[in-house]
Structure 1
Amino acid sequence: MLYVIGVGVGKPEFLTLEALEKLRKSDIVIVPKSKKSSRSVAFNVIKDFVDKDKIQFFSFPTTNDKDELKRAYDSQALMIEKLLNEGKTVSYTTIGDVSIYSTFNYLSERLKDLGIYFEIIPGIPSFVAFADRIKIPLSLKDESFAVVEMKKGVGHIVKLFEYFDTVVIMKVNNRIDELLEIVEMVKPKDAWLGKNLFLEKEEIVDLNKTDKINEAYLSLAVLRR
């Protein structure tokens, strides 16, 4: 059996009871990790709940090269197939929720092609946890909100405020200047940036009160008009 587990935002306490149950019953727990980074948020979340000898790291490429990505995920799918054929119970972990910008979504099509069934265990998305942290509602009655990547660009994101009351901007990272440009153009009532959320160097910034921010890892912004 293959379980795909959203482990939440980086805080072990955010793991659901179902996620803990599946992790503990698994023979193998796969933890994706960027080849460019020595750390894994998912690993830090689960490390105290899973025997270390059960953990296998999947170093995925951070590239736009489709051929390289295909090779990596094909290889990972075949490895999972082999483990399942050996009778292993396998869990694949991903930060946040599986349905939102997860590396697993590149792998799922390969697994489906191999006829591999998997069960998804939901996790707490980062923007939900952040909105609760700063006590800003994403939507009230008769309102709506959008979730968008920063790389969509200033013009695209500013346009969203014609249709949505709140816009969540994911993966801000080194596009701080563009984010500040959006805040200046939209002039939202609330504008907050979360950096390294629920990690050691967490920082929460009121974008309406600053114009200087360093590059942010694991960052997102919530803008509410």
Structure 2
Amino acid sequence: MAMGPGDPELLTLKALRILKEADLIFYPGSITKGQKKSFVYPILQYHRLEDKELIGFFLKMSNNREEATETYAATAKKIEAAYHSGKRIAIVCEGDISLYASFSYLLAQLQESKLPISLIPGINSFSMGAAQHQVPLSLLNDKIAIVPRVKNIEEITQYFSDFDTIVLMKIRSGWSNFYTELLQKDWNYYYCERLGTQQEYITTDITTLEHREIPYFSLMIIKK
């Protein structure tokens, strides 16, 4: 189920009910420089779910998918075993359940095992970003493109030939390649990072980002 972009109150009533009814909750996390971290674990803590059996599955922040595939396979086996032991299971993910969600890799394996599955959608990060900036993502016949890991300004410009609004996801990897050129464009920028957390930062003035370290949980909405 989706846990939303970061604010623990941006969780559907249905998701919270199922979490409270579950015996076992699987949650994702990352491994960076040997340190394990989970974006969603504090949300579980906020709702006082530590008394549940909580099992994390942690992925190294890397483009090499081999270790991630092994982690998903091992986690799927644990979920299947827990299900057959009679436990009520919830699997949570960051953001929305179907948008760049780690759960999607687990879903494919669980479907192969013929386990009964119910998906509960949630709020995605760019919807919250637009809300925090108090700007509509689209109006009337506006077209929106959602693009991950943009590499250069030419790619962004090309999308603007077909779309009115561009949502750049996972911008950290290519940021240094196109940031300076963004400053030269007559576009409207809505930058967001760590939405819904105490470290949330948003701005429409991207000159303030010149020396800022762009985190993994960041995005930018661009309008013509």
TM over 0.5: yes
Select the residue among 3, 20, 26 that pairs with 1:7.
3
Partner of 1:216: 214
Select the residue among 182, 186, 201 that pairs with 1:203.
201
Ranges in structure 1 where 5+ consecutive residues have no aligned partner? none
Tell me if 1:161 matches 2:160: yes
Which deviates further from its counterpart, 117-126 or 33-42? 33-42
Partner of 2:103: 104
Which residue identity does 2:26 align to in structure 1? I
**CA deviation vs aligned residue, 1:43-63 (integer Å, no higher than 9, x gap):** 111213213442111112333
**CA deviation vs aligned residue, 1:83-142 (integer Å, no higher than 9, x gap):** 000111111111110110111112211111211231111110000000011011111001
Which deviates further from its counterpart, 18-27 or 66-75? 66-75
Q: CA separation of 1:98/1:153 partners in 2, compared to 1, >3 Å: closer, same or farther?
A: farther
Q: CA separation of 1:130/1:195 partners in 2, compared to 1, >3 Å: closer, same or farther?
A: same
Partner of 1:41: 39
Equivalent pairs counted in the alignment come to 220
Q: CA RMSD in A?
A: 1.9
Tell me if 1:71 matches 2:70: yes
Partners of 2:130 and 2:203 lie apart in 1 by 13
Partner of 2:128: 129
Partner of 1:62: 61
Q: CA separation of 1:73/1:99 partners in 2, compared to 1, >3 Å: closer, same or farther?
A: same
Partner of 2:19: 23
Tell me if 1:150 matches 2:149: yes
> Is the 8 Å Cα contact of residues 97 and 119 (structure 2) preserved in structure 1?
yes
Partners of 2:178 and 2:218 lie apart in 1 by 11
Which deviates further from its counterpart, 126-135 or 169-178? 169-178
Partners of 1:214 and 1:192 lie apart in 2 by 15
> Is the 8 Å Cα contact of residues 31 and 57 (structure 1) preserved in structure 2?
yes
> Is the 8 Å Cα contact of residues 29 and 92 (structure 1) preserved in structure 2?
yes
Ranges in structure 2 where 5+ consecutive residues have no aligned partner? none
Partners of 1:142 and 1:67 lie apart in 2 by 41
Partners of 2:72 and 2:8 lie apart in 1 by 27
Partners of 1:116 and 1:181 lie apart in 2 by 49
Identity over aligned residues, as a percent? 27
